[in-house]
Amino acid sequence: MPPNDPTEVDRLDALETLPLGDGPAIRSGKLAGRSLYSAIWIIALPVLLGQCANAMVGLVDKILAGHLAPELVKPALDGLGLAGYVSWFTSIAMMAIGVGGMAIIARSIGSGDRELAERTLAQSGLLAIIWGAIVGTALWFASPGMARIANLSPGATADCVSYIRILAAAMPVAAYLLISMSCLQGAGETTRPFLIMVVVNIVNVIASWAYSGVELTIAGNVLHNPVGINANVQGIAFGTVTAQAVGAVLIHALMRHGIRDLQFKLPYARFDRVLFKRIVRIGGPGFMDGMGIWLGQLFAVLWVLGAIVKRSNLSEGMIGAHEIAIQWESFSFLPGYAMGVAAGALAGQYLGAGNPKMARRAIRGCLYIAMIVMGLAGLTFILAGQQLTHLISRDPVHLELAPKALFIGGFVQVFFAMSMVLRGALSGAGDTRMSMILAWTSTYGVRVPASWILGYVLGYGFVGVWIALSGELVVRGLLYLARYLQGGWAKIEV
């Protein structure tokens, strides 16, 4: 057959787009024609860098709170500790809708159905604004009750409630930013959203510092605050809201401009009942999944720690020590989260292309990378917990408790990686119902009762709670591994 024969040319082009393995390739989008590990890093690296930037922002917020006037440090860090759980809840609530949009877009891009992908993108944005308003309203009214559950002091309660209510008022904006980013990740586009998040995080750090009124000491030199508003913790919240607004504008501009095989088109933003229900049907179990983990964490940690604080007559500091440990652990989460995003996007796209074999290979590749990197991070927590705590706070309570938490948590980072990557893979494949069942099983079968028994009943206190939390991560990782090996996720229809 002559080399310029159209049939032969088409056959060669098709072979060039096949993945490293047998079966059909992804048919459209940024990942079409890419090898497996090339596709993994195209998705994961920008997500990892973006999450690093986000973690740095959280670290800066804690540092700013730690540099307030000495009498304000403990209540501020305790208040931010609970507010951190609220921020986690909002991420869960928003990402649930994002998972629904991401799963449909990933399958659509994999199969080459651009119209369905673009309709889903627009409907996800509309749903984000509605859902953000609902969640924001709920948080506004729930914040005082959550402070009471944690037995926060009056000063910490005031800081916590005001911080949460400022974020709640801007929740539709934050929802649009987070859900839009999740949808773009489903299409394999993570680079430009990462660049947007770099801008968001720069604005966040500068605005939070300026509004808080904190004067920082760096290498013995005092960095004077240029604004002098002195809004303290409330200023940190206003900085976050300002940055989220900038991000929402930028992400909408990107979607209007369009990426490869995906663009936001205004006519598709009209309410579509069928597609709305489809997104919610996939994302709903994901929300219940995350909500179950969050409520379990709220009671297993904040309620139990609050009871321990009340019994020990330690008015402030324990919640802040827990939050310092979580803040440093969040850097270990990053590769697990990034590889979970990559596993979910690739699993969805390969399943859409009709290639479950490559979906499995993609998940395994992401899992191995995350376990290695998070295992090394755990070793750092074990060896350098005191030094890491000292970077945020020099309060004696924090320096006593936070390193113990980091030491315990360091031993289970490999299992944490397993749970994060495989949970992301199940979500990307649309297997959100089983993910929810597994999360609730480990949370309420292990985390909640073990925290109460070890922390309060047996009297091991703060350390007992962290032993329970870490043990539950082992169980959760093994449960997700069992579901992956069983293979039912590859047969889910979205």
Q: What is the pLDDT of residues 421-443, one digit of tens each?
A: 999 898 888 888 888 899 899 99
> By C-alpha distance, which of 396, 460, 110 is closest to 469?
460
Predicted pLDDT of residue 1: 38
Tell me the two tokens of residue 412. 């289970």
Query: What distance in Å separates the CA atoms of residue 66 and residue 391, rounded to the nearest whole number?
Result: 10
Query: What distance in Å separates the CA atoms of residue 200 and residue 179, rounded to the nearest whole number?
Result: 15
Predicted pLDDT of residue 21: 46
> By C-alpha distance, which of 4, 52, 99 is closest to 425?
99
Predicted pLDDT of residue 315: 56
Asked if 86 and 164 touch (Cβ cutoff 8 Å), the reply is yes
Instruction: For residue 463, count CB atoms less than 10 angstroms from its CB and return exposed for 0-12, middle for 13-18, buried for 19 or more.
Output: middle
Tell me the two tokens of residue 392. 């945020």
Predicted pLDDT of residue 3: 40
Asked if 382 and 411 touch (Cβ cutoff 8 Å), the reply is yes
Predicted pLDDT of residue 70: 63
Tell me the two tokens of residue 355. 């290639």
List the beta bridge partners of residue 216: 223
User: Is residue 225 helix, strand or coil?
Assistant: coil
Predicted pLDDT of residue 190: 78
Digitized pLDDT (tens) for each residue of the chain, 494 residues in all: 334 444 433 433 333 343 444 566 666 666 666 777 777 887 788 778 777 776 676 677 777 776 666 666 667 777 776 777 777 777 777 777 787 888 888 888 877 888 898 999 999 989 889 988 998 998 899 888 878 877 777 888 888 888 889 989 999 998 999 888 888 888 878 788 888 988 988 898 888 888 877 776 665 666 676 776 777 778 888 888 999 899 999 999 999 998 888 889 888 888 888 888 888 888 777 777 777 777 887 777 778 887 887 787 665 678 778 878 887 887 888 888 889 888 888 888 888 878 888 889 999 999 999 999 999 999 999 999 999 988 877 788 888 999 999 999 999 999 999 999 999 898 888 888 888 899 899 999 999 999 999 999 998 988 999 999 999 999 999 999 999 999 888 887 76
Phi, psi of 261 (to 5 degrees): 65, 20
Q: With residue 427 as reference, give the H or E element that holds it.
A: helix 413-428
Which residues does 449 contact at the CB level (< 8 Å), separation at least 6?
none
Query: What distance in Å separates the CA atoms of residue 65 and residue 75, rounded to the nearest whole number?
Result: 9
pLDDT tens sequence across 241-278: 999 899 999 999 999 998 888 889 888 888 888 888 88
Query: What distance in Å separates the CA atoms of residue 240 and residue 222, rounded to the nearest whole number?
Result: 24
Q: Which amino acid is at 331?
A: F
The full DSSP string for 437-477 is HHHHHHIIIIIHHHHIIIIIIS--HHHHHHHHHHHHHHHHH
Predicted pLDDT of residue 8: 37
Tell me the two tokens of residue 40. 């993994």
Q: How far apart are the first and last CA of the chain?
A: 42
Query: What distance in Å separates the CA atoms of residue 92 and residue 216, rounded to the nearest whole number?
Result: 33
